[in-house]
Chains A and B, each alone.
Chain A
Amino acid sequence: MATAAVSAERENYLNKEYGIRSWLLTTDHKRIALLYLVSITFFFFIGGFMALLIRLELLTPAGDLVLADTYNKLFTMHGQIMVFFFLIPSIPATLGNFLIPMMIGAKDLALPRINLLSWYLYIAGGALMLYAMVEGGVDTGWTFYTPLSTAFSNTHVVEAGLAIFIAGFSSILTGLNFVVTVHRMRAPGLTWSRLPLFVWAHYATSVIQLLGTPVIAITLVLVVLERTLHLGIFDPNLGGDPLLFQHLFWFYSHPAVYIMILPAMGVVSEVLACFSRKRIFGYGAVALSSIGIAVIGFIVWAHHMFVAGISLYSALVFSILTYLVGVPSAIKVFNWTATLYKGSISFATPMLYALGFIGLFTIGGLTGLFLASLGLDVHVTDTYFVIAHFHYIMVGGAVMGYMAGLHFWWPKITGRMYPEWWGRLAALIVFIGFNLTFFPQFILGYMGMPRRYWQYPPEFQILNVMSTAGSTILAVGYLLPMVYFMWSLRYGKVVGDNPWGAAGLEWKTSSPPPTFNFDETPEVTWEAYNYDQIPVPKEAWLEQ
């Protein structure tokens, strides 16, 4: 392992060139990943700020902090920014971008210039979204339901729709790049059955991005055309059918949940194996379950429409199919648990987040099954139960996975370690803050508090106060890593190539890696997660 002095001098992707131009025109997947990291963090804090305003408004039963119209815009823009400008690109565009070429022993993604183009599209979409926001915002809910969005809303639906359309193409291009890369750029000896599960998860994600995103793109185009040129497609006054909009919207937006959660599952597989020092139990089942989730995930969308007036028989079919998609998810959870069994476990920060993921995702997934059952769904549709359910998946699942991955690969990305003690503290704060924010919302929803209202009856106040208190704790939990990650860039302990003693090709090159990742193209002769052959490092951050 290189000593600090030597590795500081070694040429890598960060110190090879300096200046803003070298970043804005880069085609290096690692630099583009960092461009994405900075951009999505920016949008995360904007979306998060809106969430805090929402929670503050709900501290009291009366609508006293913001106007009702403002409240509508707050939850709409919170949803649109968090979904399309943070969660969808989060793990794939940052960690996936950075790691996939390294994990498969390639010099770069297959299409480096397309990769840069995808970032610029994201930025263009993001800029348009911010424009829509400062011009007065959107109030349709993140779902753009028609005819509200096409005939009644007086807000900036067109701008927001086009912003998401543009960002959608950024997402398509990322997915396309990953699929092509995994097919065509693998190092010699790296067969499909030796791929890290992170790569499998991203492969499945990319397929969804490729096949789902174009559908929401055309749907938003049709909304924009109906709103501007009065082409009647969805508006009943023009002879259209709003249900068609809902079908097309959810055809993408249900699988989009898997765009968010599958990469996080990939991260969890890597982290669990490393900190249990074991091969993932049931590697093949975990790999194929990613594909299974992607495939079945495409045929469950109408569970969002059980009370919208679809036929009972089709509702029945979609209910059964939704139960079915729980199977591959459960396969993952069981295999992860089995991996822990008799593992030599250390509770480093990434592991804390990964364990948090398993627990919270399980709760989110099981409550998803409640919602998939036709009878119960009627009772809790459009209540806080739904809000709590999908935040357990998206925040408790996807964001926890993102944090796990960010901590796990931070030393690889920067060559420096974050402060481990602070890391564990922040993980704990996030876990507590998250549950305090969202668990009460399950109860609120079950008691009948509807979503998207700025006021509520006084008997709901105690639980709402708990939720608001939790959200401030959660905010602290997210600000802390922001601070110590920045701190570590300068003061963090300089690490060697493989500070965790982890398996995987990305740990075989230096930290930070050179521009073309490997000095020589590696040849793979071992299976994935060969932890029995890797010595445990004697490092401070692994001590209990």
Chain B
Amino acid sequence: MSNSAVQTESHESHGPELLHHFVSAEQQRNTVSLAMWLFLATEVMFFGGMFCAYLIYRTWYYAEFAAGSRSLNIWLGTVNTVVLIGSSLTVALGVRAAQMGKRKLLVVLLLLTLVLGLTFLGVKAIEWHDKYVEHHIPGASFSVADLVREYPQLHIDQRHAQIFFSLYFAMTGMHALHMVIGVGLFLYLTYHAWKGTYGPKYYTPIELGGLYWHFVDIIWIYLFPLLYLIDRKPLK
């Protein structure tokens, strides 16, 4: 490969982590961090399509959305919110540990993040399974007879309720997919942190991984109230 040949030649003049086409480590760091921010902007637009659909259907089918929202397990949702915020804290501390060159602390914090991330996914799986048991998964066996019985005063239309659950699965599913990617990313980072790749001079990957993790976290911070907390006050 032509580039790597040149890069190995010139690596004597700068560290191995500086790619040849950059002038300085600072330029490289500024460049990749701008790239990450732009990527997150595209992610906002990606989720934005679903948020837009949510906004419209919630306005049209408010009663069904409220009933659907009530059927979600608010305690599991809250636990997951706390778990994710906690994982963002461990990530932030991890960036700090990398900057200060504390290798072992960094590895521990990254592992903690992974554990919290997997906990979130586990809880999410339990919630989805509950929905499966309740026949709330859109498709042939979809039924909201239980909600119709429970909230007769809301006059629930089954098709409109299905929209709520479609969006619920699309949005939480897409979020969970991002979590899975994040877990993969952090496995990679943990391995390299273990090997001692990162330190005060070179911690950009930890920073970028952290940005991604925080972003996925923020998406959940929006999803939680939008899906779980639509209307929880006692019905008359």
Contacts and interface: CB of A to CB of B under 8 A. Distances in A.
Contacts of B48: 214-215, 218
Interface string B25-66: 001001110110011011101111110110011000100000
A525 B50 CA distance: 48
Contacts of B160: 239
Classify chain B: how many residues form its interface, as a range.
35 or more
B38 A239 contact: no
B162 A238 contact: yes
Nearest to B50: A218
A222 B53 contact: yes
B42 A214 contact: yes
Interface string A6-26: 000000010011000010011
Interface in B159-205: 159-160, 162-163, 166-167, 169-170, 174
A288 B180 CA distance: 41
Interface stretch (A194-202, A224-232, A427-435, A530-538): A224-232
B140 A516 contact: no
B46 A217 contact: yes
B42 A176 contact: yes
A25 B1 contact: yes
A108 interface: yes
Interface string B118-154: 0000000000000000000011100000000000000
B2 interface: yes
A238 B42 contact: no
Contacts of A218: 46-50, 174
A104 to B, nearest CB: 12
Nearest to A206: B38
A142 B68 CA distance: 35
A28 B2 contact: yes
A515 interface: yes
B50 A239 contact: no
A463 B140 CA distance: 50
B21 A214 contact: no
- Residue from B38, B48, B163, B170 whose CB has the most chain A CB atoms within 10 Å: B38
Given A27-B3, A233-B163, A110 B31 contact: yes
Contact of B139 (A210, A214, A230, A237): A230
Interface string A237-253: 11111001001100000
B224 to A, nearest CB: 20
A528 interface: no
Contacts of B102: none
A241 B159 CA distance: 12
B138 A231 contact: yes
A211 B34 contact: no
Contacts of A16: 2
Interface in A388-444: none
Given A26-B2, A232-B138, A239-B160, A215 B38 contact: no
B38 A210 contact: yes
A244 B53 contact: yes
B3 A211 contact: no
Interface stretch (A177-185, A257-265, A311-319): A177-185
A85 to B, nearest CB: 20
Given A172-B42, A215-B48, A184 B31 contact: yes
Listed from nearest, the 10 A-B pairs whose CB atoms lie closest are: A239-B159, A218-B49, A214-B46, A231-B166, A107-B21, A214-B45, A108-B21, A184-B31, A214-B42, A239-B163
9 contacts: A13-B2, A179-B38, A185-B31, A210-B45, A214-B45, A215-B49, A231-B166, A239-B61, A244-B56
